[in-house]
Structure 1
Amino acid sequence: MEQRRRLVTAIPGPRSQELMARKKAAVAFGVGTTMPVFAAGAGGGVVVDVDGNHLIDLGSGIAVTSVGASDPRVVAAVTEQVRAFTHTCFMVTPYEGYVAVAEALNRLTPGTHDKRTALFNSGAEAVENAVKIARLATGRPAVAVFDHAYHGRTNLTMAMTAKSMPYKHGFGPFAPEVYRAPLSYPYRDGGLSGADAAARAIDQLDKQVGAANLAALVIEPIQGEGGFITPAPGFLPALAGWCREHGVVFIADEVQTGFARTGAWFASEHENVVPDLIVTAKGIAGGLPLSAVTGRAEIMDAAHTGGLGGTYGGNPLACAAALAAIETIEQDGLIARAGRIGELLTARLSALRDGDPRIGDIRGRGAMIAVELVEADSGRPDAALAKAVAAAAHRRGVIVLTCGTYGNVLRFLPPLTISDDLLHDALDVLGEALAG
């Protein structure tokens, strides 16, 4: 597949417009799309639409196709597996692929302690199961989460998610015993250190919930939908230490940050944090639906036989894809590549910020970088600007996503297989879009 941006029609082209009309007639209104184009192929750092336009991919299907959307190892592994069988249900007649994925996750996730893994379908399902496990292991009901958090769209994970629109609005009532604490948000914290921000959060949890009632504290090491907020150094270790002291299960939601995305296998590693349980999905299987909960054996094994599972959890095709994706990350040096992508993105975005006070903050790690756009005179979040810049980039053939509680953050999640040339071209387009 040609690895360059090339537009042969306006965006959207006529075939995409036809398909969008069919979507409106057939698909529920609540299922939205970021771009008005329909994909026909993808690979490397490019998505090709049905009109033949080659778009630069800075989204990776929301951090899913980290190894690319058609990685040869993944394609070969899934093809071989589909010839053998597509499904038996691991809970009925198990198969080796599920066990092999569990072994790989036990090996790769932080910590040398004895671990166990259970496989599921989506990030939200895995988060919900992590909470189930923590509640059963501790005998406690309450769950602590943080401002700006996003954990999913099930009833429990909607309660855990901070942002109302579009994720929670009108869908309640939600699951009880979920409590929210303030996050470390360096750009808007007035210089508060990580340790002091952790003390603030712990004080609130102590007073409003009580550690003795908390089953788990659930946190994204770098927030995803909340705006790629990267806590100040020391925040995560302090929380993890408090959890250990009080018997609270520390759960790292690494759905978006996992599998080399941040320049380490898992973002927790950047501060040497070892979670009790770690939740993974998105980049785990090269585009196939798979998620996992991995953690300390004594916690994971608290659930009774039959208490964990699901018809499709650990589907054999997804397991084959996951093993191939992990091999690609290891063999092709994609952890180091994520670091290089982060350096390039940060350097180019910093150059843009030098001449544009509307770029308030640049943050993230590795190939998970964001810019927070603000009003130049007041520093207030500027969602309209973020929306306009994203739309202008889309028209020019660059897929870029927005996020953040205030809708004013542009996030960059390119495949780790993208070329430097494509990144530079995409950032040139971003500069043009900012210039109006």
Structure 2
Amino acid sequence: MMEKLEKTWRWFGFEDQITLDDLKQMGVEGVVTALHHIPNGEVWPVEEILKIKKAIEEKGMRWSVVESLPVSEGIKLHTKEYPKLIQNYQESMRNLGQCGILTICYNFMPVLDWARTNLQYKLPNGGESMLFDFPTFVAFDIYILKRPDARNDYAEDLIQKAKVIYESMSNEEAEKLAYNIIVVTQGFIDGLIDGAVSDPKAMFLEFIKRYKGVDKNKLRENLKSFLEDVIPVAEEAGIKMCIHPDDPPFQILGLPRIIGGTEDYRWLCEANASLHNGITFCTGSLSAKAENDLLQIIKDYGHKIHFAHLRNTQLLEDGSFYESGHADGSINMPLIIKALLKEQKRRADLGEVNNRIPIRPDHGIKMMQDYQSNYNPGYPLIGRLKGLAEIQGMERSIIELEKDI
């Protein structure tokens, strides 16, 4: 008998318009959250962790996953501040373990956590999604941000398309695009730059400049050092670390990207073989790279999947993509859910404790009453609730059908 995946929901703390009571009514079992008020690089105190944990448990749910315990740029770059930053990170891990919070999602993406060019992309049904339009992003990089040597990273035909797009923009549109990419999509998830900065583009360029000379191999070397320092602590504390793939899973802004597909996961497992060195399996991020075979990734690295983000994307011919909801898009979501259920059952059959895989409906299409609230980009209530219902429906059908096989 297959057990259901653990249904979770990303909650942004007490300031979130979506309350814990709302989550309970939706049938959410586990909450995915973080201490967003603690600055990056500082220790998460036990008392602050327990405040959130107590509030969640009072509503009959559990704090399933930390998303995220931010990895500071000083760790990614292995600067002179590294010893202090890694010590703080280890202490936060120990404090989380002491409080019984045993799954930590994190990423190792330089500067930007994720990138989209349109946060209000209109779908045929009138809902709003998010789009990454490759030529528009190139227009931002070359003509708006004016990153030095940016032209060297793109083919000439793509540069010409970007030029046409840029020349059709007003100054206000160009500035809005830059603000959305640098500030809006990042500010609510531990971003480096917030709306209080007078010149976000200049600061953004300074952060990018710090990665000059840091290629994929060097960033991998820095990630390996990070793993060598945190995985022993994770093993002691019983914590599962799970790295989120790059979003999008290919190079942007001349910055190295090191977690984007099968070859990267092979390297990750070889860099540190511990089962505590795991994966956040994000179908949305991974599906934005056409050559990624998500079912094969589950087959090869399912034992490393400690957390899953479920959403769909629709790929376009030029490498662009838009978020298409949860059930429909470029990937076969029912087969993904079935593969995760089978991996979970494999663990249960082996007698593994806490074998359920937490999954959450990642992002969502803005629709209906969502337009009456100012939710974080990608995190509307109705759109995500629709996704959760679709996931539960697919899962229920798969489990019922499996009984007859």
Task: Report the TM-score, using the length of structure 2 for normalisation.
Answer: 0.30
Higher-RCO chain (CA-CA 8 Å, sequence separation at least 6):
1
Q: Which has the higher helix share?
A: 2
Instruction: Compute the TM-score of the two structures, normalised by the length of structure 1.
Output: 0.28
